[in-house]
Structure 1
Amino acid sequence: MAALNGVNGDGAVLHSRELTIEHDELLRQFRVNVADILLPEHDDHYLLKWLKARKYNLKQAEKMLRDHIIFREKWKVDYLANEWNPPEVLRLYMAGGHFGFDKDGRPVFYQGLGTFDTYGILHSASRQDILRYTIRICEDIQRAIREQRNKHDKFIENITLIVDMDNVGAQIIWRPFLNIYSEMLKMFEANYPETLHSCFVINAPAIFTTAYNLVKHFLSDDTRGKINVVGRCYRHVLLSKIASAQLPVHYGGSAMTEDGNHKCGICFGGKIPTSYYLNNEQTQGKFSDIHISRGSAIQLAYDIHLQGTILRWEFLTGKNDVEFSVQYKETGTEEETTSPIVTKKRICSNFVPEAGGITCDQPGQYIIEFSNNYSWFRSKKVSYFIDIIHPEETDR
């Protein structure tokens, strides 16, 4: 057996765990394979998460970690975690939060789906901002784990999650919500492995089975095995894992805030006022409509002459999705090949426009494509707006 060491930023050993000789050798090899992307804080425990998530398959674990590094760069994760100011509607109405620790010292996080206004949130925030906020929450979870790790002699590396389904109804299987929730789950699974120790689904109504069946294929077998559906008689189950003093009164414990809040500051969402809804009256006039026949695609080509030009887009897809991408083609040559700038992704944005943009690193032709090639039976309508911002405009 070999010792597994967790080291904090000061180089102090936090915990030691024994690995089999085989797993120890795989860990050593994995560290060599990904040495070019590792940071000083990436200790053995950090590496082991990726190995575990891919069942110690070195190639798959390496791909997963390298994809995560790309993900962090693409989404500017450090900025989202430390500097980004999210829209007020997300801060006030995205149900959930952190309070207390389980009996092993793990942070306990709560998610209240029954009090989450799915319709309101999708009318009040863009898909991009919802996903950004999801990343911020995931980073907050990692921070809470690190803080606990530094307080205890034993190594803490994951959380306990309580999902409250009280008052959940048909809104949870509303397709637009399921689409964004599925993206959130995929993002979590791909980039925050081994974060979940156990999940307790409480107050689960009959519709939970239907909802779970619609999203479970986005979860790994390992994650599925950590989900415990408790129902309404959950108090004794939670107290077996969480001390009463660490469990809010609202959930059967004895904890409350100094001002007597039985929910201990956990956000329970609620109905979002329509004043937060994003209305597009000011932008409706600038949108153009295109109709994409079944099995076809439409390309919009823009000649960019100056390096540093910003190409922005907004579009609505109605009730159906389309495949969106941006490609680059060098001008002045006979070469017809293009290179991907924004890889193809199917997007449904029927309430709030999908918005994005790129900085053009070199002159040439940039091609925005809306594709319906995958649909054999249905044509699609897209309302879009494209904006080109020249370098001199950004300097003003």
Structure 2
Amino acid sequence: MEWRKQWEVDKLSEWDPPQILNDYLPHGLCGFDKDGAPVVVVYFDALDIYGILHVVSRREMIRVTIKRLEEYLNLCREQMLKHGPAAGQVVVIFDMQGFNLRQYLWRPAGEVVITLIQMYEANYPEILKNCYIINGILFIIITPKVFAFAFSVAKKFMNEYTLSKIQIYKADPAKWQAAIFSNIDRDQVPAFFGGTLKDPDGNQKFGTKICLGGKVPKEMYVTNTEKDKETFTTVTIKKGGKLELDMPAHELGSLLSWEFRTENHDIKFGIVKKDNNGIQKEVIPIRRVAAHQLDEIGILTCEVPSTYSVVFDNSYSIMRNKKIHYSVRIIPPSESQELTSATS
């Protein structure tokens, strides 16, 4: 298969990923279900994809995902030989507690996630039929409200078979524990989810077997050369000047997202909401941000009908012009993939 050659899939077992991917990708095998199928836990809220992509390339992120998929696939095959076809399915417990959509609106992170979903759907049909992750039962638990929007985007890239295997539970342990323990014995599940597995020090998340992820220290960040500069607008704001981008929001539930960076110096940034009566309100206070040190990203749920003025303010500088690279978008609730670019 050309795809396997392109990614050198058959050689990935010999590849040692950058250590950060071993230390900060939150996943791990905790046990097996009643049929002998592997049970994998993913503490998704602990995935700092923003930090990871400031240290490694997107290609390395994709390669390590393929490597892990292949490892779980091989384990499924081994279990199937021991216990029969029912063991050729992976059960995944996704913990979405504390999930934050903000980092996934950073364009490189969002593109990596979509790429991984598309890769999974296109290149692992044997997993879906027989033996891998979504082919088992996928529990997404402790789901916050913001997950509904994120999932509505992701599911556009999933086929119906995958979607049929997904069960979503809100923060109701009685319900999701009943579902989990109907298929898995408690001694195969971390105590954090109501099982009995703990670390020797009492850690209920079972970190001796499952990577717990976490925030990547900023001192590990390196210059990311893979940013798609063509997707950003670049402008120079003259000393004493200001740039205002008016973004109209018409549909209830729309999101305003922003991402920008400056070169060498900080700049003032904020957002002002203007309603149809002409009343203005600072919803993001205008203040100086060190966007030359770290990309500034964020999201805001829009009130409608309103116009949001995104402000880049250099009026305080009497000596320096400021060059900025920005992407500001309105994301409609019903057309999440049709992003409206800002124009000045």
> Would the alpha carbon gap of residues 269 and 315 (structure 1) be closer, same or farther in structure 2, given more than 3 Å must change?
closer
Matching residue of 2:116: 184
Residue pairs, 1:40-51, within 5 angstroms? none
Is 1:161 the counterpart of 2:92? The answer is: yes
Residue of 142, 163, 174 corresponding to 1:224? 163
**Residue identity matched to 2:211:** C
| Structure 1 residue 252: Cα displacement | 0.6
> Would the alpha carbon gap of residues 316 and 201 (structure 1) be closer, same or farther in structure 2, given more than 3 Å must change?
closer
**Residue identity matched to 2:121:** E
Residue pairs, 1:90-109, within 5 angstroms? 90-109=21-40
What secondary structure is seen at the aligned counterpart in 2 of 1:100? Answer: strand
* CA distance in structure 2 between the partners assigned to 1:153 and 1:237 by the alignment: 23
Contact 2:30/2:40 (<8 A) preserved: yes
**Residue identity matched to 1:201:** I
> Would the alpha carbon gap of residues 170 and 244 (structure 1) be closer, same or farther in structure 2, given more than 3 Å must change?
same
What secondary structure is seen at the aligned counterpart in 1 of 2:94? Answer: strand
* CA distance in structure 1 between the partners assigned to 2:190 and 2:43 by the alignment: 14
| Structure 1 residue 258: Cα displacement | 5.1
Residue of 294, 318, 326 corresponding to 2:229? 318
Matching residue of 2:222: 278
* CA distance in structure 2 between the partners assigned to 1:109 and 1:230 by the alignment: 17
Contact 2:37/2:89 (<8 A) preserved: yes
Residue of 14, 38, 50 corresponding to 1:83? 14
Q: In the TM superposition, what whole-angstrom CA distance separates every residue of 1:334-381 from its partner, at most 9, and x where no partner exists? A: xxxxxxxxxxxxxxxx999xxxxxxxxxxxxxxxxxxxxxxxx99xxx
Contact 1:115/1:166 (<8 A) preserved: no
| Structure 1 residue 155: Cα displacement | 5.1
Matching residue of 1:236: 178
Is 1:250 the counterpart of 2:192? The answer is: yes
**Residue identity matched to 2:177:** R
| Structure 1 residue 132: Cα displacement | 0.4
Return the structure number with greater relative CO, CA threshold 8 A, min gap 6: 2
**Residue identity matched to 1:317:** D
| Structure 1 residue 275: Cα displacement | 2.6
| Structure 1 residue 98: Cα displacement | 1.5
What secondary structure is seen at the aligned counterpart in 2 of 1:200? Answer: strand
| Structure 1 residue 260: Cα displacement | 4.3
**Residue identity matched to 1:248:** P
Contact 1:235/1:252 (<8 A) preserved: yes
Q: In the TM superposition, what whole-angstrom CA distance separates every residue of 1:133-188 from its partner, at most 9, and x where no partner exists? A: 11011111102202212322455322111111011123354242221101111111
Contact 1:138/1:188 (<8 A) preserved: no
What secondary structure is seen at the aligned counterpart in 1 of 2:45? Answer: coil
What secondary structure is seen at the aligned counterpart in 2 of 1:99? Answer: strand
Over the residues paired in the alignment, what is the CA RMSD in angstroms?
Answer: 2.7
**Residue identity matched to 1:318:** K
Residue of 122, 125, 142 corresponding to 2:53? 122
Residue of 141, 144, 147 corresponding to 1:202? 141
Residue pairs, 1:31-42, within 5 angstroms? none
Is 1:213 the counterpart of 2:152? The answer is: yes
Unaligned ranges ≥5, structure 1: 1-68, 281-313, 322-349, 353-376, 379-396
**Residue identity matched to 2:2:** I
> Alignment length, in residue pairs?
226
**Residue identity matched to 1:125:** V
What secondary structure is seen at the aligned counterpart in 2 of 1:231? Answer: coil
* CA distance in structure 1 between the partners assigned to 2:106 and 2:226 by the alignment: 19
Q: In the TM superposition, what whole-angstrom CA distance separates every residue of 1:25-84 from its partner, at most 9, and x where no partner exists? A: xxxxxxxxxxxxxxxxxxxxxxxxxxxxxxxxxxxxxxxxxxxx111111111211x110
**Residue identity matched to 2:184:** I
| Structure 1 residue 315: Cα displacement | 5.5
Largest Rg, 1 or 2:
1
Stretches (4+) displaced over 3 A:
257-261
* CA distance in structure 2 between the partners assigned to 1:319 and 1:110 by the alignment: 37
* CA distance in structure 1 between the partners assigned to 2:102 and 2:18 by the alignment: 23
| Structure 1 residue 276: Cα displacement | 2.0
> Would the alpha carbon gap of residues 142 and 257 (structure 1) be closer, same or farther in structure 2, given more than 3 Å must change?
same
Q: Which stretch has the larger CA shift, 253-262 or 110-119? A: 253-262
> Would the alpha carbon gap of residues 213 and 153 (structure 1) be closer, same or farther in structure 2, given more than 3 Å must change?
closer
What secondary structure is seen at the aligned counterpart in 1 of 2:196? Answer: coil
Residue pairs, 1:234-383, within 5 angstroms? 234-257=176-199, 260-264=202-206, 265-279=209-223, 316-318=227-229, 320=231
Contact 1:105/1:148 (<8 A) preserved: yes
* CA distance in structure 1 between the partners assigned to 2:178 and 2:15 by the alignment: 39
> Would the alpha carbon gap of residues 315 and 269 (structure 1) be closer, same or farther in structure 2, given more than 3 Å must change?
closer
**Residue identity matched to 2:90:** I
**Residue identity matched to 1:98:** L
What secondary structure is seen at the aligned counterpart in 2 of 1:123? Answer: coil
| Structure 1 residue 319: Cα displacement | 6.6
**Residue identity matched to 2:137:** S
* CA distance in structure 1 between the partners assigned to 2:65 and 2:137 by the alignment: 19
